[in-house]
């Protein structure tokens, strides 16, 4: 990746943070933080489930399931299948413990504001990438399908990391530490995918860690996983169709 790409992403992240700061001043985006009575237990459960899915991710790598070759139309559909499998233990934990969906970032009280913010961030990203005229000229079917795949990946992964895991870590350790821990775990989750290309490994790890911090902030401000998920999906998609 060249310096121009990195500078464009930093500019994008600064814009995302600025939009979230401005949005945070509006009463529409005001929301109460999700709290947990048994904090230590929540952290232990979140950590244990994270260990399970990290084992799944590395197993998938060593068995070739995260490699670029795929039985599907897009290699990214391997990632979608793995993310769907990873969501299963977290869903089971929520159902068994009878916790509300808002404890995973799917808060009905913040859904509307979260979707509104995600659309603002997506539009801003399209403008910053100079893709407005490209969209006016039309988007190919395969590109639309690829966007849908990435929306699926991001909704699943953000529900796990920015929803289930981050909410508990931020409640236990406060925002800065909770953000850092979530970013570390998310980067570990993506590590098996990056092992396929050792030449860009260091860059991809650093990029993912910084992106995760931005997504954590978006989640904090919106209170809904829709905001980081949709923004990340559109941002990633625009990189791939450049």
Question: Taking phi first (over 0 means left), then psi (-120 to 50 degrees means alpha), and beta for anything else, what does residue 138 get?
Answer: left
Q: What is the mean pLDDT of the chain?
A: 91
Domain boundaries, the chain: 3-24+36-240
CB distance 113 to 103 below 8 Å: no
Residue keyed to tokens 């990195």 = 6
Largest pairwise CA distance in the chain: 54
Please tell me the distance from the alpha carbon of residue 32 to that of residue 110, in angstroms, as a whole number. Answer: 10
> How many Å from the N-terminal Cα to the C-terminal Cα in the chain?
13
Supply 138's token pair: 């039309």
Question: pTM score, two decimals?
Answer: 0.93
Q: Tell me which residue of 212, 217, 216, 220 sits closest to 189, measured CA to CA.
A: 212
pLDDT tens across 144-201, in order? 999 999 999 999 999 999 999 999 999 999 989 999 999 999 999 999 989 888 999 9
Quickly list DSSP for 60-84: HHHTTTTSS--SSSSTHHHHHHHHH
Q: What share of the chain is helix, strand, coil (3-state, %, to 5)?
A: 80, 0, 20
Q: What angle do CA 176, 110, 228 make, to 5 degrees?
A: 50
Q: What is the pLDDT of residues 43-61, one digit of tens each?
A: 999 999 999 999 999 998 8
Q: What is the pLDDT of residues 66-96, one digit of tens each?
A: 555 554 556 788 899 999 999 999 999 999 9
Q: What was the pLDDT predicted at 31?
A: 87
């Amino acid at each position: 990746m060249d310096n121009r790409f990195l500078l464009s992403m930093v500019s994008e992240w600064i814009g995302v943070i600025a939009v979230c700061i401005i949005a945070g001043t509006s009463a529409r985006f005001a929301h109460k933080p999700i709290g947990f009575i048994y904090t230590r237990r929540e952290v232990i459960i979140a950590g244990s489930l994270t260990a399970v899915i990290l084992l799944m991710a590395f197993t998938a790598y060593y068995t070739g399931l995260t490699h670029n070759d795929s039985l599907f139309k897009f290699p990214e559909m391997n990632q979608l299948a793995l993310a769907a499998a990873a969501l299963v233990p977290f869903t089971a934990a929520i159902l068994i413990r009878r916790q509300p969906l808002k404890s995973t970032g799917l808060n009905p009280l913040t859904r509307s504001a979260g979707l509104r913010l995600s659309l603002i961030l997506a539009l801003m990203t399209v403008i910053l990438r100079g893709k407005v005229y490209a969209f006016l000229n039309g988007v190919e079917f395969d590109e639309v399908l690829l966007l849908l795949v990435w929306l699926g990946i991001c909704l699943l992964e953000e529900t796990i990391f920015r929803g289930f895991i981050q909410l508990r870590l931020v409640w236990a350790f406060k925002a800065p530490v909770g953000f850092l821990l979530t970013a570390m775990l998310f980067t570990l989750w993506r590590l098996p995918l990056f092992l396929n290309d050792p030449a860009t490994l260091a860059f991809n790890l650093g990029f993912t860690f910084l992106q995760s911090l931005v997504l954590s902030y978006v989640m904090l401000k919106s209170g809904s996983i829709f905001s980081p998920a949709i923004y990340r999906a559109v941002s990633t998609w625009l990189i791939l169709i450049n």
